[in-house]
Each structure stands twice: as C-alpha cells, then as structure tokens.
Structure 1
Amino acid sequence: MKTKVAIIGSGPAGLLLGQLLSNAGIDNVIIEAQDKDYILGRIRAGVLEQVTTDLLREAGAAERMEKEGLVHEGFNLYFNNRCERIDFCKLTGGKTVTVYGQTELTKDLMDVREAGSYQTIYQAKDVELHNVNSATPYVTYVKDGVTHRVECDFIAGCDGFHGVSRPTIPDDIRKEYENAYPFGWLGILADVPPVDEEVVYGHHEDGFVLCSMRSKTRSRYYVQVPLEEKVEDWSEERFWNELKRRLPDELAAKVVTGPALEMSIAPLRSFVCEPMQYGSLFLAGDSAHIVPPTGAKGLNLAAGDAKRLFEGFEQFYLHDNRESLNAYSKECLDRVWKAERFSWWMTTLFHKLNDNPFSRKIQQAELEYLTGSEAGKTTIAENFVGLD
C-alpha cells in the first residue's frame, strides 16, 4: 500500500489530522492497534478551547457539538468558603470554552471519516516504523496473521504516550522531561444534573475538588486522593460524602447523587518530549506531551498539533514548500511549554501539596491576590480559554 501520510493512532490528534488532510485532497491512512469499540470506551475529559471548536468546524465534524456542547463563559473558584467567578468573555474579549466529551468528539470524527470512505486500519498489531530519518519511510503491521507494508512520504505519530512512535526517535536525539505528582484524581461519572451551570474548582485544606459535567444530565466529579489510594476502597457513598464535605455548605446542599457509570483514579504527571520531529516522523498529541488535567489542556494541545502539522503538509503538497514542516517542532514546543506551565501552576495552586502550614498560607495568599486583581483574573482566563 502507498499513501502520502501514514497516521499512527486514531485518537483525536490522528483523526483530526486525517480529516483535515482528506478535506484538502491529501491521501492518508490511519493505522490503529485497538478496535473501534475499545477507543470509544475510553472516558476522557472534554473542555474545548475556541480554537479546537473552530478546528472541528473546519474539519466538518462539528454538527453534533453545536447541538449538544455546553458553551461556558466562565468558571467558579471556591476557597475559604467563598466563590469567585472568572468571566472569560469579559476578560478575554469574548472568548469561551465548550464542554463536550472527548469520547463524543472522537465518535464524530470517526463518523465523518467513514462517511468519506477514508481508510482506517483497526487492530493493526506489531506496528513498526522504518527508515524514518529518510525520504522513504514505511510502516509495517500485522493483521489477521499477515504482515502488511505501507509506503509513505511522512509518518504522523499520534499513538499516545505508550505508542511506538516516540521510541522510534533515537535515544541520543530524544530528550524527555517529566514531573510526577504525589497525588491523583478519584473521579466519578454519573447521570445526575451538575451542581452548577459552570465548572467549579475548589481549594480545600484536605485536597482539591472539581465539579464538571458532560451534559445537562451527566456530571463528572473529582476529589484529590493520595497516589497510593485504591479505587476499590472507595464506595460510591464514601465518594459523595467526601465530595460534599470539601464543598461550601450552600453548594454541597445542591449536589444530586446517583449510581456511578464509572469510577477510577487517574495519576497526574507532566511530560514533554523534544524534539517533536525526526526526519520524516512527526509526533502529535500524547505521544509528545502529557499535562495534568487541571488546566484542561491535553485535548486542546493535541488539536493544536494536528492543525499545525496539517498546515505543514498542506504547504508541502500544494506549494512545494517544506519550511513550515521544518519549523513544526520548534513552534509546537513553544505552545506546549506554555500550556505545561499553566497546567503545572493550576495544579500546584489548588491541590494539597504537603502538610506544611506555610505552603497552605502561600496558596491562600495567591488565590486572594489573583481573584482580587483584574490582571490576576485575566491571567487565569486567557490561559484557560487558550493562548493564540
């Protein structure tokens, strides 16, 4: 098989890149190790920046998002038993975010790709990348016991943190930066109405709390727990009690409880790989970077990578110009590190870091300063809705 761009992985980055390329008439094939049901069974967050919603419209995959997505013009910060609202529209010249689950976004992109009869190979095992530091790369994989070969001009590694793409870059070229946090998020997904119309971030002496939603009838709640906690040690009743205990009384009274559709504990870490390109291989999404979910940046960074990489391929194939592709890693990493900084900052600002009373007082002072200053609130707002 021959194609122009071989895309490894059918997560949001790979699917979005594939759709943008297909719309521009640039041939591509997506190669995915898992089956479709497995991918759609993964529960992920979904706070979309304005640039991401615009990309979905550009890709022709925004119809359901336009109907079901919840546009938010701000969010609420709770600390010291009081609430401060961050008004996105007022502070950023009208920008908003849209709450729309990553699973739904992934399904929409899959449906659009299938409607266009563009090729995705699911359950491709033993995927290997070859000759990536050359003008003639190719990909091999095994399906139904038969080894296949895909010849291409470029490879887009969109196969996540545990994929094969990043390790293909030689150790003496690849540099990785990582920070693991000593706590995780215990989350519950339930078909209950959200406690508030907007997302709620809570700073409590016993740990962070987040009240989010997937729709007007489905809520996603999180509480900070030590990294060694086990989800099986938490009953649903214990979770709901802990959630309400960490919220201000008037908000806790509004929490509607219900059976869990899913409960899990997610560890938090920050990770960046440099460079994001090597020869004919380009990394995008979680294969190149991971952020703690506090800043709602993971999916949006993946979408930004896909857009930037598409622009490079478009310039190459339509205008015979490789300058944009050559600058891909440098330009992406500038944006990635800014998002990493914001996600790290939000994480250290809202979570219980240790038992040191000084640390807690510093967090309280910073929250007081930020919410009491127009400049401070603008800093939060413009980072949350996404930097240009």
Structure 2
Amino acid sequence: MHTTVGIVGAGPAGLLLARLLHRAGIDCVVLESRDRAYVERRQRAGILEQPTVDALREAGAAQGLDARGLVHDGIELRWDRRSHRIDFPSLTGGRRVWVYAQTEVVKDLVALQLDDGPPLVFEATVTSVEGADTDRPVVRYTHRGREERLDCAYVVGCDGFHGVTRAAIPESARRTYDRVYPYSWLGIMADVPPSCDELIYAHSPRGFALHSMRSPEVSRLYLQVPGGTDPADWSDTRIWDELDARFAVDGDWELRRGPITAKSVLPMRSSVTEPMRYGRVLLAGDAAHIVPPTGAKGLNLAVADVVVLARALERLHTTGSADLLDAYSATCLRRVWRAEHFSSFMTTTLHTAPDRSGFDTRLQHAQLDRIADSPHAAAELAQNYAGLPLP
C-alpha cells in the first residue's frame, strides 16, 4: 500500500490529522494496533481549550461537542479552607474551555473517518518504521495474521510515548527530558450529578484533590495518592470521606456522593523528546511529550501539534514550499515547553510533596494568595489554562 502520509495511532491526534489532511486533499492512511471498541473506550482527558474547540469546528468534527459539551467560564481554587474563582472570559478576552471527554472526541472522529475519510485500519500492529532519513520511509505492520508494508512520503507518529515511531529516530539524534513526580492520582467515575458547576482544584495538607465531571449526571474526581497505590486499597467510603476532607471550605458547600463505577491510578510525569522531526518522520502528541494532567494540557497539546503539521503539509502540497514543515519541531516545542512550565507550576503549587516542610506549604499558600489578589497573576493562569493562540 502507498500513501503520502502514514499516520501511526488512532487517538485524537492521529484522527484529527487525518481529517485535516483529507480536507486539504492530501492522501493518508491511519494504522491503529487496537480494535475500534478499545479505541473508543480509552478514558483520557476531558478539558478542551478554546483553540482545540476551534480546530475541531474547522475540521467539521464538532457536532457532538456542540450538542453535548459543557461550556465552562472558569475554575475554582481551594486552599486553607478558602475558595477563589478564576473567571476566564474577563481575564482572556472572551476565551473559555469545554468539558467533553476524549472518548467522545475519538468516537466523533472515527465515525467521520469511516464515513467519508481516508483508510483507517484497526488491529494493525506496527512493528517498525524504516528509512526515516530517505525520501520514501516504510511502515511495516501486521494485520489479520499477515505482514504488510505502507510506503509513505512522510510518517507521523501519534502512537504515544511507548510507540514504535519514536524508535525510528536514532538515539544519537534525539534527547528526552523527564521528570517523575513522587505521587499519583487516584481517579474515580461516579454516577452522581457534579457538586459544582465548574472544576475545583483543591490544595490541602492531606494532598491535592480535583472535582471534575463528564456530564450533568456523571462526576469525575481525583485524589493525590502515593505512587504505586492499589485502587483496591481504597473503599468507596474512604474515597468519599477523603474527598470531603480535602475540598472542605468555610461555608455550606456539600459534596454529593453516589455509586463509584470505576477506579484507576494515574502516575504523574513530564517528558519532552527533541526534536519532533527527523528526516521524513515526525512526532505528535504523547509520542513527543507528556504533561501531568493538572494543567489539562495533554490532549490540547496534541491537537496543536497536528494543526501546525497539517498546515505545513498543506503548504508543501499546494505551493511546494517546505518552510513550515522545516520549522515544525521548533514551532511546536515553543508551545510544548510553555505548557510543560504551566503544568509543572499547577502541579507543584497544588500538590503536597512527601518531603514537604512548613516553609514549603507557606510558599504554596503565598502563591495561591497572589493569584487571588493580583489580576495579573490570575490573568496569566487563565490565559494558559484556556489555551494560548495557535501559531
């Protein structure tokens, strides 16, 4: 099989890139190692920045978002039994965020792809990407028990940190920067209406907590826990009691409780691989960078990558100029490092480190006080959270 762009991975990055290329008249093929049911069940992020929403609408992939997405105009910070709301539109010139689960984004994009898009091959396990430094790289994969090959002009790796595509860049030509945080998140889904209209980020001596949602009937909540925690060690009652303690504020706010339908533990880490391009192989999304979820940047960074890449490939296709493609890695990495910085700031400001001192805690309170008292500090948080404009 031959194509112009071979895309490895059918997460939101790979699927959106395929959609954008298809609309630009550029041939592509998407290879995904899992089956459709698995891809559409993967639980991931649920916060969409303004630029991400704009990109989905531009791609004709926002019907579900516009029908079922929840628009949020801010977030609430809690610490020291206090609360403070960050109003996005007033601090960003009108930008806001949407709550719409990544599973739903993927379902919408898969349906569009299968209806009128380029080939999307499920259960196609990529075994290698060869010839990155040639003008015709090859993707080798197995499908239905047969070994196959996909000859491409370009290969885009949207297959995550542990995917095959990163290995196509020689170790001597890439460098990865990592940080592993000394705690994880215990995440739950609960069949109970959310206890708030917007997300709550809570700093507590007991650890961080986050109140989010998936719909008007389903709540999504997180607790900071030690790395290596077994979800089975946390009973439903223990989880709700701990959430109650960490969200506590002076006032009459009450946490609604309900049946917990899912529990999982999410490790916290940051990672950036440079460069994001080597020859005819390009990386996007988690294949190039990972952020802790505190800043809600993972899915949004992946979308930014593929929007930049789609524009670059369209420029090459229509004018023959490779200038945007040659600048792809540098363009994306500027945004990536801004997002890494913001995500690290949110994580270290709100979490309770195992080796914390009283001095450390007072510094965290001082930073949160500054956000509450300074319009400039609040605006910087709001602008980064709601999403920086795409280049």
Q: TM-score, normalised by structure 2?
A: 0.97
Structure 1 counterpart of 2:48: 48
Q: Deviations over 1:117-160 (max 9, x none)?
A: 42111111243111111111111111122111111100010001
Matched, 1:241 2:241: yes
Structure 1 counterpart of 2:171: 171
Instruction: Please list, as runs of the form range in 1=range in 2, the aligned pairs for 1:198-277 lying within 5 A after superposition.
Output: 198-249=198-249, 254-277=254-277
Q: Deviations over 1:68-99 (max 9, x none)?
A: 10111111011111110101000001100011
Partner AA of 2:298 in structure 1: G
Measure the CA separation in 2 of the matches of 1:124 and 1:20: 22
Structure 2 counterpart of 1:369: 370
Measure the CA separation in 1 of the matches of 2:35 and 2:251: 41
Residue 190 (structure 1) shift: 1.2
Q: Deviations over 1:14-40 (max 9, x none)?
A: 000000001111110001111111111
Structure 1 counterpart of 2:96: 96
Instruction: Please list, as runs of the form range in 1=range in 2, the aligned pairs for 1:284-323 lying within 5 A after superposition.
Output: 284-323=284-323
Residue 57 (structure 1) shift: 0.7
Aligned residues of 1:244 and 1:252 also touching (Cα < 8 A): no
Residue 252 (structure 1) shift: 8.2
Aligned residues of 2:56 and 2:62 also touching (Cα < 8 A): yes
Measure the CA separation in 2 of the matches of 1:126 and 1:374: 50
Structure 1 counterpart of 2:356: 355
Q: Deviations over 1:92-121 (max 9, x none)?
A: 011000110000001000011111042111
Residue 201 (structure 1) shift: 0.5
Matched, 1:157 2:157: yes
Runs (4+) of structure 1 moved beyond 2 Å?
A: 249-254
Structure 2 counterpart of 1:378: 379
Residue 254 (structure 1) shift: 2.4
Aligned residues of 2:22 and 2:117 also touching (Cα < 8 A): no
Q: CA RMSD in A?
A: 1.1
Matched, 1:16 2:2: no
Aligned residues of 2:126 and 2:164 also touching (Cα < 8 A): no
Measure the CA separation in 2 of the matches of 1:167 and 1:239: 40
Among the aligned pairs, what percent are the same residue? Answer: 46
Measure the CA separation in 2 of the matches of 1:54 and 1:295: 19
Measure the CA separation in 1 of the matches of 2:317 and 2:144: 34
Residue 250 (structure 1) shift: 6.2
Aligned residues of 2:187 and 2:263 also touching (Cα < 8 A): yes
Give the match's secondary structure for 1:98.
Answer: strand
Give the match's secondary structure for 1:149.
Answer: strand
Partner AA of 2:181 in structure 1: Y
Partner AA of 1:91 in structure 2: L
Aligned residues of 1:75 and 1:86 also touching (Cα < 8 A): yes
**Unpaired runs of 5+ in structure 1?**
none
Aligned residues of 1:5 and 1:153 also touching (Cα < 8 A): yes
Measure the CA separation in 2 of the matches of 1:56 and 1:303: 9
Aligned residues of 2:140 and 2:150 also touching (Cα < 8 A): yes
Give the match's secondary structure for 1:376.
Answer: helix
Aligned residues of 1:296 and 1:384 also touching (Cα < 8 A): yes
Aligned residues of 2:275 and 2:329 also touching (Cα < 8 A): yes
Measure the CA separation in 2 of the matches of 1:362 and 1:128: 48
- Bigger shift: residues 113-122 or 331-340: 113-122
Structure 1 counterpart of 2:337: 337
Structure 2 counterpart of 1:110: 110
Give the match's secondary structure for 1:172.
Answer: helix
- The size of the alignment, in residue pairs, is 388
Measure the CA separation in 1 of the matches of 2:102 and 2:88: 22
Measure the CA separation in 2 of the matches of 1:355 and 1:220: 28
Give the match's secondary structure for 1:367.
Answer: helix
Q: TM-score, normalised by structure 1?
A: 0.98
Measure the CA separation in 2 of the matches of 1:41 and 1:281: 28
Aligned residues of 1:195 and 1:251 also touching (Cα < 8 A): no
Q: Deviations over 1:39-71 (max 9, x none)?
A: 112111211011100111111110110011011
Residue 351 (structure 1) shift: 0.2
